Structure 1
Amino acid sequence: MALQVRVAPSKVVLQNLLICVILFYTVYYLVLSVGCMALQVYELSVLAPFDFKTCPSWLNTSYQVLLISTEVTYFICGLLFVLIVEEWVWDYAISVTILHVAITSTVMLEFPLASHWWAALGSGLISMICGGQALACCLFKDNFIYPELDGF
């Protein structure tokens, strides 16, 4: 006789969200480390994922590392989220991004108003959703949930 455990749907969602957030920051710090080594940036704050105050200049290697790390992290996480949440990548991508903005505001003690930061975040979110949903559609095409629009 097998042991059956029932988990409430809201607990599953929160558990998946926690896993996605932990995965997001783990990937972010790994990509940030590789970027620092590649671009030879030897001093970068531990709070780099939350830094929206760095001067946006292509001559500033710290800014390049932050920007590239953000974009690569979002894309990779979009693909990895498929393994956790299957076809609900868009939902968790938006939720993780909202949590990232909230954590950034808390860590930096102000709300980010830098347009370059929002542009990077927005383009990263779009790549996360598009890449993740495309992979989910390929992997789960036989059991993908399509809304019924007959009566719409």
Structure 2
Amino acid sequence: MLLDYCCRCCGFTLIKRHGPLSLKTTPSDSWVVLQNLLMCMVCFYSLYYIVVSLCIGLLSVHEINSLLAPFDYTTQPSWQNPKYLVGVISTEVTYVLGGLVFAWIVEEWVWDYAITVTLLHVAMTVAVMSDFPSAEHWWIALGLGLVMMIFGGQLLAYKLFRSNFVYPAELQNF
């Protein structure tokens, strides 16, 4: 979705469409999507670093690099390892709170922004750590966090913005 909006904004056709496009997007619509994505990314990492700092303080962990904490998948998984606990707890809490914040920012497309932010987080992790994450515990934590972000955020968005939601039956007459 993000790539499609970027291409439309620049006037470049990347995806071949069969038939007319039912939604007419303008460059201003594309900029709104990019602005929302930027706000979601800033909120996500702000939340991440706040939660990491709180976990480091509460668990009294001193041998952790707080700047690399969101990207560190190399810590050995053990419930007795406070460094691992900081990583897991901060990831899950950030994803839960991030879904709620995303609902406030984007109103109804929480799942789309959650997946996009997670993919960008994986890309940033690869860039920061100079290696592709192969630790299954990191992927499991990321996947569970993403599921909680989507369900929590979509549920909150539905409750708050119920009158704005587009239902499948209404899409037929759009």
Whether the TM-score (by the shorter chain) exceeds 0.5 is yes
Aligned alpha-carbon RMSD (Å): 1.6
SS, match of residue 166 in structure 2: coil
CA drift at 1:36: 0.7
SS, match of residue 168 in structure 2: coil
Answer yes or no: is 1:103 the counterpart of 2:124.
yes
CA drift at 1:43: 2.6
Q: TM-score, with normalisation over the residues of structure 1?
A: 0.92
Q: Structure 1: how far apart are the matches of 2:161 and 2:124?
A: 32
Instruction: Flag structure 1 segments of 5+ consecutive residues without an equivalent.
Output: 1-5
Distance 1:82 1:112, change over 3 A: same
Q: Structure 1: how far apart are the matches of 2:132 and 2:69?
A: 16
Task: Give the ranges of 4+ consecutive aligned residues of structure 1 lying more than 4 Å apart after TM superposition.
Answer: none
1:55 to 55, 76, 80: 76
Q: TM-score, with normalisation over the residues of structure 2?
A: 0.80
2:35 to 15, 37, 40: 15
Q: Which structure's relative contact order is higher, taking Cα pairs within 8 Å and 6+ residues apart?
A: 1
CA drift at 1:7: 6.0
Q: Among all aligned residue pairs of Structure 1 and Structure 2, give the percentage whose two residues are the same amino acid.
A: 58
Aligned pairs, how many?
Answer: 146
My pick for the range that moved more, 64-73 or 35-44, is: 35-44
| Code of the aligned partner of 1:91 | D
CA drift at 1:21: 0.5
| Code of the aligned partner of 1:112 | P
Answer yes or no: is 1:134 the counterpart of 2:146.
no
SS, match of residue 121 in structure 1: helix
Matching of residues 1-150 of structure 1 within 5 Å: 8-45=28-65, 46-148=67-169
Q: Structure 1: how far apart are the matches of 2:110 and 2:151?
A: 9
